[in-house]
Amino acid sequence: MLEVTILVVVLCASVPHISSHTANSTNSSVLERHAFFRRNESVINLDHSGLEKIKRGAFKDVRVYRLNITNNPLKAIKKGAFANVSVHEIFLYGNNISLIEPDSFHGFHPYNGSKILTLSLANNKLEVIKTGIFNNTRFSRLFFNNNKIKYIEPGAFGKMKQLTQIDLVNNRLEKIDVGVFQNLGRRSFSILLNLSKNRINYIHPYAFENTSLAVLGLENNGLDGFEENYFKNTNISSLYI
């Protein structure tokens, strides 16, 4: 069995100087409608602010390079909270998020270019990634590490043409069925998919069908070994087990 360590390089872009200040929270538990209406900021920072709820339209017609809503008792992301928001990086890590409604991220648009670089939902309390959450989105990198994810609905990542990286390290996945990671990646680029430190003991032979993977990380799972038919019609450049 091959024993190696995954090395994923994360590129951090500098934040443009659009404004001379960061928009900080006022330690309110509820973010009201139009709280950041038509704001144009380099960073909106809601870190350790005690935020519990984001009302519909709280972020409307906003242009911000980096949006930080981190380390709060926030439990849910609901549809309409983000409406026509131009953004490059979104950090929602370290909250108590267990629910994301379908189309909650539909209101995000690229700050520049054709994609949004990062959406981080790491260190939350998600148990399921549902189909519809990422409808009509342009995220390039998704981070779900250190949640409680047991199940990913088929098609959850479907039609995400800009997707280049999915991090699901340290969750509770037990099997990889068909329909979850199929048809990802394109000829021009491949996907970095890290499923290390889960409880995976079964992979369907067609689980990664028609997917181009630059890296597939499966270290520290419950797999006893691999058979040749595990990866039907799949292109994998580097496999780590």
Convert the pLDDT of each residue in 25-37 to its tens digit: 456 899 999 999 9
Span 29-46, average pLDDT:
95
pLDDT of residue 47: 96
50 versus 7: the higher-pLDDT residue is 50
**87-141 pLDDT, tens per residue?**
999 999 999 999 999 999 999 999 988 899 999 999 999 999 999 999 889 999 9
Least confident stretch, 1-15, 57-71, 192-206: 1-15
pLDDT of residue 77: 97
Burial label, 232 (beta-carbon count in 10 A; 0-12, 13-18, 19+): middle
pTM of this structure? 0.88
Token pair 């267990």 is at which residue? Answer: 98
pLDDT of residue 25: 45
pLDDT of residue 159: 81
Contact, 208 vs 179, CB < 8 A?
no
Tell me what percent of the residues of the chain surpass a pLDDT of 70.
85
pLDDT of residue 222: 86
pLDDT higher than threshold 60 for residue 175: yes
The Cα–Cα gap between 66 and 89 comes to: 5
Span 152-175, average pLDDT:
94
pLDDT of residue 156: 94
Q: Model confidence at 213, in pLDDT bands (50, 70, 90)?
A: very high
Contact, 178 vs 207, CB < 8 A?
yes
Give the tokens for residue 160. 């995400």
**57-67 pLDDT, tens per residue?**
999 999 999 99
Contact, 203 vs 221, CB < 8 A?
no
Nearest to 39 by CA among 78, 9, 67: 67
Nearest to 151 by CA among 127, 168, 117, 133: 127
